[in-house]
Amino acid sequence: MKILVCISHVPDTTSKINFTEGDTKFDTNGVQFVINPNDEFGLTRAMWFKEKQGASVDVVNVGGVETEPTLRKALAIGADNAIRVNTEATDGFYVAKQIAKVVEEGGYDLVIAGRESIDYNGGMVPGMIAALTGANFINTCIGLEIEGDTATAIREIDGGKETSKAKLPLVIGGQKGLVEESDLRIPNMRGIMMARKKPLTVKEPADVQNETKAVKFEKPAPKGEVTLIAPDNIGELVDLLHNEAKVI
């Protein structure tokens, strides 16, 4: 079984976010980048298939040379090969088209993508890859087993869980539950050294038109001042909620 894991290169959640050029560009100065958490759950599950069922695991990223340390970390965790599509990840459709080309050229049985990235939170790419390649698709996946050419997946739905079966080739949008946080792997020294020798292939992008463009970014409004009310002063609390906050 050939598995392709999609890896997004995203800012660490502790990073301080700023914008430049009139709030039209993300300022990467001083920002630490990591593997997108939803993708890391998927990569860890792919490693389970590699160790238990002999699957081969490739990872792919759409981005510039600055994303290669993130791909090297995925190799250090245990992926066999890395692929970088040499173009800026501008929008979900553009990224999906680039990855779909990699999928078709590589003949992958299973594509694992995070259900969304934590930077833009678009949630579009996994479904688009499935549509573009003609593969089956299961989103919000929190459990996955594969036997032969049949996958059994558990997905999160409103108010519960749903178990589905699908034939390979399959694309999943994964999240926490594919593995638990305690199962995530920290690269050891041996893995880091081996990652330096593993293939990292750079592919030129497909000729695809961008369908959308980010016009402007805006930070959330800063939190307002907090008014403290004595616990026994219910009258003042009701008055403020009614006349100042206007929520009742």
Helices (H), 32-161: 37-53, 68-77, 92-106, 125-133
Q: Residue 118: helix, strand or coil by DSSP?
A: coil
- Give the pLDDT score at 225: 83
Q: In this predicted structure, what is the pLDDT of residue 221?
A: 84
pLDDT at 212: 85
Average pLDDT along the chain: 93
Q: Which residue has the tokens 């553009």?
A: 94
Q: Is the dihedral of CA 104, 129, 187, 1 positive or negative?
A: negative
Percent of the chain with pLDDT over 90: 73
The full set of domains in the chain, from first to last, is 2-212 (3.40.50.620)
Between residues 136 and 214, the one the model is more confident about: 136
Q: Taking a C-beta distance cutoff of 8 angstroms, is the pair 39, 7 a contact?
A: yes
Of the pLDDT bands very low, low, confident and very high (cuts 50, 70, 90), residue 82 is: very high
**CB atoms closer than 10 angstroms to residue 211:** 11
pLDDT at 117: 93
- Using one digit for the tens of pLDDT, what is the confidence trace for 137-162? 999 999 999 999 999 999 999 989 99
CA distance 175 to 141: 6
Whether 216 contacts 23, CB under 8 Å? yes
**pLDDT tens digits for 33-60?**
999 999 999 999 999 999 999 999 999 9
Spatial separation of the C-alpha atoms in residues 151 and 235, rounded to whole Å: 60
pLDDT band for position 84 (cuts 50, 70, 90): very high
9's tokens:
């290169």
